[in-house]
Amino acid sequence: MRVLVADGDQESREALESAVRKAGHESIAASDGDAAWELYLERSPHAVVADLLLPGHDGLALCRRIRAQDAAGRTYLLVLVSPTTSEDVLAGLRAGADDYLVKPIDPAALHSRLMVAHRVTTLQAELARYRSALSDRTRTDPLTALSNRLRLSEDLASMHERGQRYSERFAVAVCSIDGYTGYREQQGEAAADRSVGVVASAIAAAVRKSDQLYRFGGAEFAVVLPHQAWAGALAAMDRIRQTVQDLGIEHEANPEGVLTLSVGVSTYSPARPVTSERLIEEADQALSRARSKGANTVVLAEPDQETVKQGW
């Protein structure tokens, strides 16, 4: 465990460092509150042992800054107080400290507090990993391992914010496997699921590294294309459409005799700052028109047709 010791008294600081190392932990030290804050940001200690009477930002201010930065409470905070100032204990705890030690420090007492700190920070790290894994599972499609619709909504919101802030363009495409319901009825559920997985892998291999692919639902996928205007987005999605056709997955009910893809595309630009929800709606409507035209094609959303005519 990495422990930051913050104490303005050199003798006391060195004694604390020695006790920390004897307890089996790594020690880093600061002689004032400002230096302690910089070390905290630079080294991310698991625990901090801070004297309340630090020069510069005192121990209370340091505790408050750390807690404001570390809202999840992953850093264990110990404050050092004088035996005659019991009110400092409450002040330290109110500032975000987890525990306290009375000066002069008993090495055995410090060792026991650090044992508790190690257990608490280890548990916090395990909980953080669990939450992260749970978050990923709720945002991942189990069949294709692609991000799902929830993640799409979150990513599109971030992309939209960037577009507004930095005047960036991007495009959204919604794709659907043509005649998928009939294919499932003819080939069975297992074969249909396999085809979704194969198509997902083909699209993932065909998009740019900067593009983001999602399973939109059923036999539908969504692609977010950063920094793409309508022409580039149409060209990119037409290549993907051709890639899926070239897989040659037999589907007798389709005119080409193989599984194909229909695609609808909508774009965001500083001149057309529509909401991310509207972009999805437009791409979905364009997908419907692609299907009505006989499928296996890419269609640009109607509002963008005017933009095309204007030479954008």
Q: Could you tell me the two tokens for 218?
A: 């059923």
User: What are 72-88's pLDDT values in tens digits?
Assistant: 668 999 999 887 666 88
> How far apart are alpha carbons 78 and 10 in whole angstroms?
18
pLDDT of residue 31: 93
pLDDT at 311 over 80: no
More confident call, 303 vs 157: 157
Sequence spans of domains, the chain? 2-138, 149-309
More confident call, 305 vs 12: 12
pLDDT band at 135 (very low <50, low <70, confident <90, very high): low
Q: Which residues, at least 6 apart from 160, have a Cβ–Cβ distance to it below 8 Å?
A: 268, 275, 276
pLDDT of residue 58: 85
Mean pLDDT of 264-285: 93
pLDDT of residue 72: 67
Record: fold of 149-309:
Alpha-Beta Plaits (3.30.70)
Record: fold of 2-138:
Rossmann fold (3.40.50)
User: What are 195-222's pLDDT values in tens digits?
Assistant: 999 999 999 999 999 999 999 988 999 9
User: What are 21-47's pLDDT values in tens digits?
Assistant: 999 999 999 999 999 999 999 999 999
Q: Which residues, at least 6 apart from 222, have a Cβ–Cβ distance to it below 8 Å?
A: 149, 152, 172, 173, 174, 175, 213, 214, 215, 216, 280, 283
Mean pLDDT of the chain: 88
pLDDT at 54 over 80: yes
pLDDT band at 134 (very low <50, low <70, confident <90, very high): low
pLDDT at 306 over 60: no
